[in-house]
Chains A and B, each alone.
Chain A
């Protein structure tokens, strides 16, 4: 397996959707390629970072403004 194929299979590998034979070839490439080892690690971090950044935003809770609640209630009455 070459880097190009490795990267194409990445999402399916993380979702455990690859057939066993492909996993073996995938992991064989991974063991010998520093660039793809870094790519896999940073791809995985990207997913977690996106999620964490969104969740961190959940911490800076600005309460729902009263005028919005009033507008919603008015719009359905």
Chain B
């Protein structure tokens, strides 16, 4: 973004925040219209049903409206709302979590006594670039992410897709940074195993 545009964007955002903090209803409507499409896309990645995704976005705006007075002068609205909607999704997922957390063990590599893999790994024919041209593979990747147990799926979404730091992810989930690292590594390995037949082109 050219410098002057960035300055303009910054000052118009500060003006919007000031109006929001003053309780201006039209400012809130502007914010809702501007940010709902973006937040809904984030929520759809976390929530498996469209209704749940919409409810999470609504929860997020209610939370944002309540805490707009605490919004810091140096913060960015979009970043702030991104974190709030993720939190709203995580809270909804927590209350919905009834399914027994299945074990990932089957999808992790197994080793012989000499430390080598029981089944040697093979290269893939598909790459992250080529799958973009293949709508059905994009669908498969998304479906396989959805199949991961929630505690692993959440870490994968936060770290690899929403691109939050290990520390921020740990704070959001209320777990240690080390637990985030362990879950992320296991989630990626499980997803790798689940994608393997498709990406080698044997399924």
Contact = CB atoms under 8 A, between A and B. Distances in A.
A10 B37 CA distance: 36
Interface residues of B, number: 51
Contact of B115 (A5, A34, A63): A5
B192 A42 contact: yes
Contacts of A31: none
Interface in B116-173: 116-117, 120-124, 126-129, 131-132, 138, 141-142, 145, 156, 160-161
Q: Which of B111, B121, B129 has the most CB of A within 10 A?
A: B121
Interface residues of A, number: 41
B45 interface: yes
Contacts of A73: 28-29, 32
A57 to B, nearest CB: 7
Interface stretch (B5-13, B76-84, B90-98, B183-191): B183-191
Interface of A: 2-5, 7, 10-12, 34-36, 38-39, 41-43, 45-54, 56-58, 61, 63-65, 68-69, 71-73, 75-77
Given A43-B188, A45-B199, A64-B37, 7 more contacts: A12-B181, A35-B120, A42-B192, A48-B128, A51-B160, A57-B41, A75-B61
